[in-house]
Amino acid sequence: PAKTMDELVSLCKRRGFIFQGSEIYGGMQGAYDYGPLGIELKNNLKAAWWRSMVYERDDVEGLDAAIIQNKHVYKYSGHEDTFTDPMVDCHECKSRMRADHMKDIKVCDNCGSTNVTAPRDFNLMFKTNVGPMVNEESYTYLRPETAQGIFTNFKNVVDSTSRTLPFGIAQIGKSFRNEITPRNFIFRVREFEQMELEFFCKPGEDEKWHDFWVNARKQWWLDQGLAEENIQFEYVTGDDLAHYSKSTVDILYKFPHGFEELEGVANRTDYDLGSHTKAQDEFGLSAKVKKNEHSTAKLAIRDLEENKWEVPFCIEPSAGLDRGLLAVMTEAYTEEELPNGTSRTVLKFKPHLAPIKVAIMPLKKNKPEIVALAKELKNKLQKLGLGRILYENTGNVGKGYRRHDEVGTPICVTVDFDSIEKEGAPVTVRDRDTMEQIVVNAADLPAYVINYFIN
Ligand code: ATP
């Protein structure tokens, strides 16, 4: 794995995974842009999550709710009142920092001065105005988590799918937080993506499902290539527990800057649906909620056995896509000494995550038959729907191997003179991890590739 963030940042920029946002204007703190390979990796990680959370289960539905929502969503969700971090100002150097991240909240982290304020609450939501009138009433916020869109659509999803408990709603999308001190590359940013599941169950079955999801989510991260010894659980307690949570288990990963949260799995009880439902008094809610004077829908489900309407409990595995990508890159990053005394950098991604699945390289740039066969193979493999197959005609296969090691391409295929002269059109297939080369006939290549990627 990568030992420092710097080596990752440098590779990400050099090879086109991740760039500083607004770089040509001096940058924008806490915002990053995903380049040609970054977007592929991100899409692959999202697809793996969706496959596991939606397609491979029969009790989860998908959703894509709007980012801009009615301001009442944040009034009743509790974000307007409580979505804050404690902040300290330094009178000396004018910097601001998050109190719970400071080494000592009486000493400025930046200049060492003791002339600092006491911590005060800073709301992390970005406020904005909607419509042509900018006035007291026209404000709302960019969503700080995707979850609220799931709660506000609870009735729509239940009515349109006839779901009964237990079942979940999954969503992937952008969230925004005006972090006081964004840092550590894409670990803590102001605009990021989350992959969230809200899993609704009967009260009383919540603890069982909470355990289930903690373990299922750890297993999923292992399946993305993270090593067991680099994952830890943290049981969140006391003051660190969110106001809505009965219990939370954070899944931590050993990032280059230390063990930090990758995903949180929270038991949110009936707090959210209970907060957003109308007729709150009818349901005997267990959570303490603000009195809702605006909701027009009952967010409850019929318990067929007991023939009554109830507000379910909710278990939420909430993962950061950007943090996930950083974890996967950290883990995949490998520097290897080779037997011939040289070294190489390889990103040992799991095949399903690799930004480029197969690179096809003609040995000679200007030999028409070689080029034609290479292009034909590219088109054939592309149709398999595995992801990006790259035809790359630089005429330097050795350099190509190095580059594709560095971006984690599992398979390189070289088309050479043998391929156009010998029967069966043999091509050379080179494996990223073993660096071994084998010969495969062109007609057998699609089956070889499918077998490699789908197992
Ligand atoms: P932290 O304590 O690190 O600020 P959090 O506990 O506030 O995180 P949650 O509200 O539980 O985070 O959000 C769920 C997930 O969303 C986190 O586990 C993380 O992966 C991701 N996430 C949250 N804030 C950020 C951020 N500023 N940048 C990138 N990812 C984030």
Looking at every residue in the chain, the average pLDDT score rounds to: 96
SS3 60: strand
Distances (CA, A) of 311 to 58, 204, 298, 349, 357: 22, 12, 9, 42, 46
Cβ neighbour number for residue 109 with a 10 Å cutoff: 18
Of the chain, the percentage scoring pLDDT greater than 90 comes to: 94
Residue-wise pLDDT tens digits, 301-336? 998 888 899 999 999 999 999 999 999 999 999 999
Distance of CA 175 to the CA centre of its chain: 11
How large is the average pLDDT for residues 214-240? 95
What pLDDT score was predicted for residue 306? 85
- Paired with 193 in beta bridges are 174
CA atoms 36, 410, 396, 390: torsion sign: negative
Percent of the chain past pLDDT 70, that is, above it, reads 100
For residue 177 and ligand 1, the question of a CB distance below 6 A is answered with yes
CB count within 10 Å of CB 49 equals 22
Pocket test for ligand 1, best of 261, 268, 272, 315 (most atoms within 8 A of CB): 261
SS3 308: strand
- For residue range 261-284, what is the model confidence (pLDDT) as tens digits? 999 999 999 999 999 999 999 999
What six digits make up the tokens of 279?
A: 């007729």
SS3 312: coil
Which of residues 172 and 245 earns the better pLDDT score?
172
Say how many Å lie between the CA of residue 323 and the centre of ligand 1.
8
* DSSP code for 113: -
Nearest protein CA to atom 26 of ligand 1, as residue: 188
Protein residue with its CA nearest to atom 14 in ligand 1: 318
User: What are the CA-CA distances from residue 420 to residues 94, 239, 414, 417 (Å)?
Assistant: 69, 69, 12, 5
User: Which sign does the torsion angle of CA 318, 211, 269, 60 carry?
Assistant: positive
189 lines ligand 1 (CB under 6 A): yes
Q: What average pLDDT does range 16-21 have in this prediction?
A: 98
Per-residue pLDDT, averaged over 407-429, amounts to 97
Please report where in the chains the tokens 């840092």 appear, as a residue.
183
Asked if residue 322 has its Cβ within 6 Å of ligand 1, the reply is yes
Query: Would you give the DSSP letter of residue 230?
Result: G
Nearest atom within ligand 1 for CA of residue 250: 18
- Ranges assigned E (strand) in 279-387: 301-303, 308-310, 313-320, 333-337, 343-347, 356-362
Class of residue 371 by CB neighbours under 10 A (exposed 0-12, middle 13-18, buried 19+): middle
Residue 85 CB–ligand 1 contact under 6 Å: no
Q: Is the dihedral of CA 141, 146, 151, 156 positive or negative?
A: positive
The pLDDT score that the predictor gives to residue 251 is 98
Flag whether pLDDT at 455 surpasses 80: no
Residues paired with residue 399 on neighbouring β-strands, in sequence order: none
How remote is the CA of residue 338 from the centroid of ligand 1, in Å? 39
List the single range of 144-153, 302-311, 405-414 with lowest mean pLDDT: 302-311
432's tokens? 């990223």
Report whether pLDDT(177) > 90. Answer: yes
Any atom of ligand 1 within 6 Å of the Cβ of 354: no
φ and ψ of 177, to 5 deg:
-140, 130
| Whether residue 432 has its Cβ less than 6 Å from ligand 1 | no
Closest CA to 256 of 358, 333, 203, 145: 333
Q: For a ligand 1 pocket test, name from 194, 221, 265 the mutation site with the most ligand atoms within 8 angstroms of its C-beta.
A: 194
ipTM: 0.98
End-to-end CA distance of the chain: 25
- Those residues with Cβ within 8 angstroms of residue 103's Cβ, 6 or more apart along the chain or in another chain: 109
Q: What is the pTM of this model?
A: 0.96
**196 CB less than 6 Å from ligand 1?**
no
Give long-range contacts, CB 8 A cutoff, 24+ apart: 47-50: 48/220, 48/223, 48/224, 48/352, 48/353, 49/172, 49/195, 49/220, 49/319, 50/170, 50/172
- DSSP state string for 242-298: -TT-SEEEEEEEEETTEEEEEEEEEEEETHHHHHH-S-GGGG--SS--PPPSS--S-
Q: Give the Cα separation of 333 and 141 in Å (integer).
A: 38
Closest ligand 1 atom to Cα of 190: 27
Confidence grade of residue 68 (pLDDT, cut at 50, 70, 90) = very high
